[in-house]
Amino acid sequence: MPRPIEALVHTEALAQNLARTRAGAGDARVWAVVKANAYGHGIERAFDGLRGADGFALLDLAEAERLRALGWRGPLLLLEGCFEPRDLELCSRLNLWHVVHCSEQIDWLAAHKTHQPHRVFLKMNSGMNRLGFTATALRGAWARLDALPQVDEISLMTHFADADGERGIAGQVAAFEQATHDLPGERSLSNSAAILRHRLRNDWVRAGILCYGSAPDFPEHDIAHWGLAPTMTLRSRLIATQQLAPGDRVGYGSTFNAVASMRIGIVACGYADGYPRHCGSGTPVLVDGVRTTTLGRVSMDMLAVDLTPLRGAAIGSEVTLWGRGPAGSLLAIDEVARAAGTIGYELMCAVAPRVPMRAEPS
């Protein structure tokens, strides 16, 4: 018998979230961002749910190859562009559009031999200071690209640092508009938080976390507020129960101390499965679809839960660490992430390879 833990990818929830993205994106076309192996869901497992996108945006050339192998003939965008000159050969062969964010990437393009000119997304650094040309360098980069026979279309993009928070996007939008207003070409600005929270002119939006049913601005808003559906469930079972007396302690470090007699359950899930060790006592969890909490420290392969609200729970009871539970119950990944001091993105990307994961169509 394998350990009872497994992860499910909900195909129709991906499609539903993509439809929600379109509703927020106006006339813009939608890149489904599938970097990091579709935010941990697996490109092949996520593909069916996201195939209604206008294109896929990602980082790894190997992931782009996997999408072509799945039969995707539409646009693919490399969000960080090429990492070395020979990557351009694969761009030519697979017809990949690529971001150009630094002058070295233009040098490589200028030296690249291709029969098929490339479409590039010229990236401006409008304030995040991660990738892209400054406002002053942008025009020179645009002129160089425009003069290259290897390039047939230049689009413009930037990325927001604070679309999910109070600082917002106004400063970055103003910087981008000032630097690009008289340049031709399509524009791509919005990530998930900007799609949901700001109305902007985009020809292409780049929707990542929105597709995967996590709220980019949790806890200000949750997935119910935004009309999103969880796309990943991590579930397991109870493998033991314990009856505690007052003063009994639980787990490594004995951090949980029972004040009264109580029953607890031991779940086959630990940090080696990708469940965060930073989740302390009180992290929400569902047992047989009923909400309860974790107790004590998460170990490598196990964690403990409070069975006080669950008289009937026994070995074999279903435990939902996040996602969909039985009888329509739900536990948003954002709530668990918050208990760990992180964001839903990190949890979905970190499910360990030892956890079997499969797509569930409905």
Which residues of this chain interact with ligand PLP, rule CB under 6 A?
Answer: 33, 79, 159, 191-193, 206-210, 216
Rounded Cα–Cα distance for residues 333 and 279 (Å) = 12
Find the shortest distance in angstroms from Cβ 228 to ligand PLP.
12
Find the shortest distance in angstroms from Cβ 230 to ligand PLP.
15
Residues 197, 203, 225: CA angle, nearest 5 degrees: 25
Rounded Cα–Cα distance for residues 100 and 239 (Å) = 52
Find the shortest distance in angstroms from Cβ 217 to ligand PLP.
10
User: Is 252 an active-site residue?
Assistant: yes
Q: Which is nearer to ligand PLP, 189 or 357 (CB)?
A: 189
290-295 and 284-287 strand pairing: antiparallel
Q: Which is nearer to ligand PLP, 24 or 208 (CB)?
A: 208
Find the shortest distance in angstroms from Cβ 306 to ligand PLP.
33
Burial of 171 (C-beta count, 10 Å sphere; 0-12/13-18/19+)? middle
Find the shortest distance in angstroms from Cβ 100 to ligand PLP.
13
Tokens coding 314: 């026994």
Q: Which is nearer to ligand PLP, 41 or 159 (CB)?
A: 159
Q: Which is nearer to ligand PLP, 212 or 256 (CB)?
A: 212
Q: Which is nearer to ligand PLP, 28 or 33 (CB)?
A: 33
Residues 162, 163, 164: CA angle, nearest 5 degrees: 90
Closest CB to ligand PLP belongs to which residue? 208
- Is the backbone peptide bond immediately before 219 cis, with ω within 30 degrees of 0? yes
User: Is 123 an active-site residue?
Assistant: no
Of the chain, the end-to-end C-alpha distance in Å amounts to 26
Residue of 39, 252, 271, 345 marked active site: 252
Nearest to 308 by CA among 276, 255, 262, 348: 262
Residue of 35, 123, 212, 275 marked active site: 35
Find the shortest distance in angstroms from Cβ 208 to ligand PLP.
2
Rounded Cα–Cα distance for residues 194 and 78 (Å) = 20
6-10 and 204-207 strand pairing: unpaired
Q: Which is nearer to ligand PLP, 10 or 206 (CB)?
A: 206
Nearest to 156 by CA among 201, 92, 216, 115: 201
Contact 306, 293 (CB under 8 A): yes
Enumerate the active-site residues: 35, 252
